Each structure stands twice: as C-alpha cells, then as structure tokens.
C-alpha cells in the first residue's frame, strides 16, 4: 500500500479511536449506573484503556507516514521503531484479548462483565465499536502494514509488565473500594483469583506469539528488506 494511502487510513483510524474515547467520556455522571462508574471512573476498564492506547498507536503510525512523505528519513526510523513496538506489545494483543475475553464472558453471563443497566446508557453500536471492531482494525493493520517485532524475550517481558500493571490497578481499586472492577472476580477464592490472573497473563502472551507468527506468515522476511517501506 502506498505511503499516502496508509497515511489516510491511519489518520481515519486515529480519529475513530479519538471519537470512541470521547463518546465514552461523554457519559454523564448522573446517567451512570451506580454499580459501574465509581472509583477510577472509566479508566479502570481495560476496554477504555485500550481505546486510548489504540489512539496513541495510530497517532504514532500517522506521524510515521507523514515523516516518510516529507522525506525525514533519519527521524522516521525512530518513529517506525516506536510504532512497531506499540503494535507488537500493545495494540494487537490487547485488542485481541479484550475482544475474546469480553464476548466469552458476555455469552456465558453478561452480568459478570456488562450489566444490563448499561444498555440504556451505551448504544449497541458503541458496544460493538469498542469490543468487536477493535480486533477487525488490529487484523487490518497487520495486513496492510509490515511490523518488525522485537526479540521475543523483550516483547514478552514488556507485555507481561503491562499486564501486571493493569492487574495491580484492579487490585488497588478493590483495596480502596472493596468492590471489584468486574463482578466476576467476586465469585473467586483468593487462590482461584490468583490462578485466573496468571492464566490471563499466559493467554495474552500467547496472543503476542500468535501475532508475531501471523505477521511473519503475511510478510515473511519483508521486514528485513523494507525498513522504510512501511
């Protein structure tokens, strides 16, 4: 795909995620179900944090495209490296994790992850935009742009750190409010909860590995030969 076309695509993706983030923030305090938006507001939900992260990623991607168009080759190398790192350890695995975990739990018992009280607050299109379209865009990005993945040990370590940071945030909120971010956690014993968190980390690390594999299947050795082609 031509750089100019990629720039347009990344610009629209950036605006889309900015719009979604703004739409979530527009939910008025008086309209929020009492059991949902308490301590930490929207920022305790991985879904919302993912929207912000995706906006940052596409912002960096758009910047890389613009720098390529204006021939700032020395600067664009650094920006592309940042873009690829953001995609490999964040944009793809987190979006995929949110999609799979949300719809799995929603299908099993929606009250554990998305109470019916939200139906009158968050329209269906927005629910699918933040829980379904995210993985479609992540896969589309994988297809249209080759990404250079970091060494596996580095990538897995960084993603593990991000995962532990979010789990720590969830535990902090429980310590401060005595209420779980997701009602599901209240059903678990401490031992099972620890096992659940550990399993979640292992699962998202597996998603990272799958993304690395998929990127290689699609692009092969292209990343080594076309450092500035993306």
Q: What is the pLDDT of residue 223?
A: 58
Q: What is the pLDDT of residue 222?
A: 56
Note whether 26 and 126 are within 8 A (CB): no
Q: What is the pLDDT of residue 133?
A: 97
One digit per residue, the tens of pLDDT, for the chain of length 230 reads: 788 999 999 999 999 999 999 988 887 544 555 454 456 567 788 999 999 999 999 999 999 999 999 887 778 999 999 999 999 999 999 999 999 999 999 999 988 888 888 888 889 999 999 999 999 999 999 999 999 999 999 999 999 999 999 999 999 999 988 888 888 898 999 999 999 999 999 999 999 999 999 999 999 855 554 444 44
* Token pair of 150 as six digits: 């970091």
Q: In whole angstroms, what is the distance from residue 149 CA to residue 25 CA?
A: 33
Q: What is the pLDDT of residue 229?
A: 44
Residue 26, Cα to own-chain centre: how many angstroms?
20
Note whether 14 and 59 are within 8 A (CB): yes
Q: What is the pLDDT of residue 119?
A: 84
Q: In whole angstroms, what is the distance from residue 146 CA to residue 46 CA?
A: 26
Residue 148, Cα to own-chain centre: how many angstroms?
18
Q: What is the pLDDT of residue 26?
A: 80
Q: What is the pLDDT of residue 230?
A: 44
């Amino acid at each position: 795909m031509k750089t100019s076309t990629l720039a347009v695509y990344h610009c629209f993706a950036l605006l889309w995620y900015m719009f979604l983030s703004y739409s979530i923030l527009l939910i008025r305090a008086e309209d929020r179900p009492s059991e949902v938006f308490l301590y930490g507001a929207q920022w305790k939900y991985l879904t919302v944090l993912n929207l912000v992260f995706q906006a940052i990623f596409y912002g960096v991607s758009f910047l890389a495209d613009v720098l390529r168009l204006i021939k700032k080759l020395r600067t664009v190398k650094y920006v592309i490296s940042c873009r690829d790192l953001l995609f490999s350890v964040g944009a793809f695995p987190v979006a995929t994790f949110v999609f799979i975990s949300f719809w799995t739990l929603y299908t099993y018992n929606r009250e554990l992850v998305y109470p019916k009280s939200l139906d009158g607050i968050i329209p269906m299109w927005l629910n699918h935009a933040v829980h379904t379209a995210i993985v479609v865009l992540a896969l589309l990005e994988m297809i249209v742009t080759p990404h250079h993945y970091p060494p596996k040990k580095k990538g897995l370590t960084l993603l593990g750190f991000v995962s532990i940071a979010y789990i720590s945030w969830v535990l902090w909120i429980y310590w401060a409010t005595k209420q779980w971010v997701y009602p599901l956690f209240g059903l678990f014993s401490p031992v099972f909860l620890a096992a659940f968190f550990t399993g979640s980390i292992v699962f998202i690390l597996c998603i990272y590995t799958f993304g690395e594999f998929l990127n290689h299947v699609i692009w092969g050795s292209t990343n080594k030969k076309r450092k500035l082609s993306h």
